[in-house]
Structure 1
Amino acid sequence: MKKLGLFLASISPGLFLIGYNIGTGSITTMASAGASYGMELILPVLLSCIFTYFLIIIFGQYTIVTGDTILHSYRKYFGTGFSAIVLVSLLISEWVACMGVMGVIVQVVQEWSKPLTSSGEGFSPILVTAIFGGIIYWIFWQGKHRFFERVLVVFVAIMGFCFIATMFMVAPSAETILDGLVPRIPRDKSEMLLLAGMVGTTMGGVLYVVRSILVQEKKWSIKDMKLENRDAAISAGLMFILSFAIMAAAAGTLHVNNLRIDNAIDMVNLLEPLMGRFSVTIFVVGIVCAGLSSLFPIVLLAPWLISDFRNTKRDLTTTSSKLLVLFGVLLGFVVPIFGGRPVFVMIVSQAAASIVTPLILILMMILVNKKAVMGDYTAKLPRNILLAFIILFTIAIAISGILGIF
């Protein structure tokens, strides 16, 4: 048991990224893709997870070698303007995600709970939001990084079990899965938006900015390079497995019955007749754990990113940090109070996140090629070729996101 605890502690940065990455944004985009197109879009997900593996390593190694985090470095070497653009873009994307994530959780729980209430309307959306928002803020109030890591490990473990178990109950055929690995061009703007959303949630630039912060928090040094590589492999590998499981569950049930997901409640309404109450309950538990494991890092990001930008100590006990986190929690009430389509909100937020990613990667490519910054760890030709290819890939996805949104 002690060895397991030490192992989990050694890969806690990767688990943190999984908790952030596989949230209701991933669930809604992967489930929507699986329902609408079966496994046709699994190849972009696989590519984005492979690219994410390499980018996690690159951004982590940059901080290991230089000791600097990303936004501070961008401000230091490229000026306040570029760094501010990245900061504002990431903050807006994350705050929009707060609304969408909580909206999805609440609608799913309300729909699932309808048979449990005498009125048949399910649990009160405001009450559910207050409970989950209170849990998130209570976790934050503990103020200890080690405690955050342990909570996320629990959320990620439950989420992973639920989605993988659901996939095995309704898995599509091997032929369908292999067909999804055949490259194809998006057929319409809806598919473009979904594609951008899926890649945005897997390769969002904020992921790499946060990676830098986590590596600095972990105090990894040059001697920890192998540990950093292992952590990156586990993180990216589990991201793909969970994304695959969600898409496969939707493809094996909704797509074969020509059903689509337009709202969060569709995931309960449409899946229950096909999978049964027990299977849907497991799926709902997975959605809730995914939402909470994603919401917590999201609300933490505002004070973390601002501290990174200003190059100040990441102190979550300050009044400004508490107010920023509270603001993020309160944004969760927007959809339950004012209504809206949280699935669409989530897809748009993930697509928007993909738009700033090329800028983040281009600036990093410049930095890792500076001998004065990286010394003996300056990027070699193979790494530069790979980075250039990934940047072109993210630009193509960003264009798809823009076309899909408008």
Structure 2
Amino acid sequence: MTDTLQELGAALLAAARRAGADAADAVAVRGTSVAVDVRAGKLENAERSEGVDLGLRVFLGQRQAIVSASDTAPRTIDEMAERAVAMAREAPEDPYAGLAAPEDLAPGGQGDTLELSDPAPEPDPAQLEACAQEAEAAALAVPGVSQTQGASAGYGTHEIHLTASNGFSGGYRRTTRSTSCVAISGSGTAMERDYDGDSRTFQCDLRSPAEIGRLAGERAAERHGARRPKTGSYPVLFDERISSSLIGHLLAAANGAAVARGASWLKDAMGEQVLPAALSLIEDPYRPRASGSRPFDGEGLATRRRAIVEDGRLTGWTLDLASARKLGLTSTANAARGTSSSPAPANWNIELTPGPHSRADLIAQMGTGLLITSMIGSTINPNTGDYSRGASGFWVENGEIAYPVNECTIAGNLRDMLARIIPANDARPWLSRVVPSVLIEGMTLAGN
């Protein structure tokens, strides 16, 4: 039986050649995850999973097909190749399908310099349970917290290796350690909930369970007695916990696949102002210990630091090979993929230029308006950028937080909203999306 992911990838390519494929690439993934949940001081759930997943993509001319399996037996590998080639014979031609040119490939390093894998040993289930218990106990100790929805702790490893008939072979290993807690205040129909959590590549970087539980409890207690705010046009401050969703909408509109389909409100905005002139949006896949870091993309191209928005102007789409070919451009090495799907454009680590002021400064500046700390649902038109979402948070009067609010809706147009954002300086630097709280003046708010 073949053991290493590199050997599995080579076996898949050899099987594809024997089955008649003109070209192929293979993804082999080995993963382990451990998760422990507690509630009311008792262990509620403990899970551990381990497995290897294989994905094979074959090409017959401009026809392609993908198959996947979780069995690494030689017979299964041969069957995968035969099935993939048979499927490709029936697939329609795609003029944009194909592997990267050999001269464009990344060196194929393991990503060690990015510190993607923690050398510390895997925590045992008892350690994870103790962390979850400590987080829940800290939340319950906060005055005003009536109960918790539970606390969780987890650990995972993820190994990936990409092998292709154009000569590419490379892989890396990633680890994740996390703790979270959800606290509840009030009772019956007056219950309010909030949370805190942390997820890091290195276990030593993780915030303490006590801090996570305490903050979850304080947030839930602060939301007790929430009511609907006034209807009208007001400044809206997106808290740092949810502000990255706004930037996510911009990234989705700058995705090459959406642009190539003509389904993007930014499709004709290349070179135009999309953020205030002082702001840039930088993608950096080389940040150590960051979850979005990687040495190469899902097609074997070397990732690189780039500006998506520079000094407020949109400077580039996010492209994989297929979307780049459709648009007559060059891939930005942003292909992401799984074992059962073809590559698609995706973003790595993102950072928005911070502002000079704190969140408290922006609250004081906004006068009367809404501070949003959580959002639910969404109605977003991908062609026009029209935006509507349910929200809850705190009402601000005379530059100070007055009372908690819920059951309201905010609306606007993303192009107009993003052009007027005012960022704070409170972004968490270890996140994959480093986006501070942002203030937008003059949004429509539907409440009472």
TM range (shorter): under 0.3
Normalising by structure 2, we get a TM-score of 0.25
Query: Looking at CA atoms only, which structure, 1 or 2, has the larger radius of gyration?
Result: 2
Which structure dedicates a bigger proportion of its chain to helix? 1
Which structure: greater strand fraction?
2
Comparing both chains, which one has the higher relative contact order based on Cα–Cα distances under 8 Å and sequence gaps of 6 or more? 1
TM-score normalised by L of structure 1: 0.26
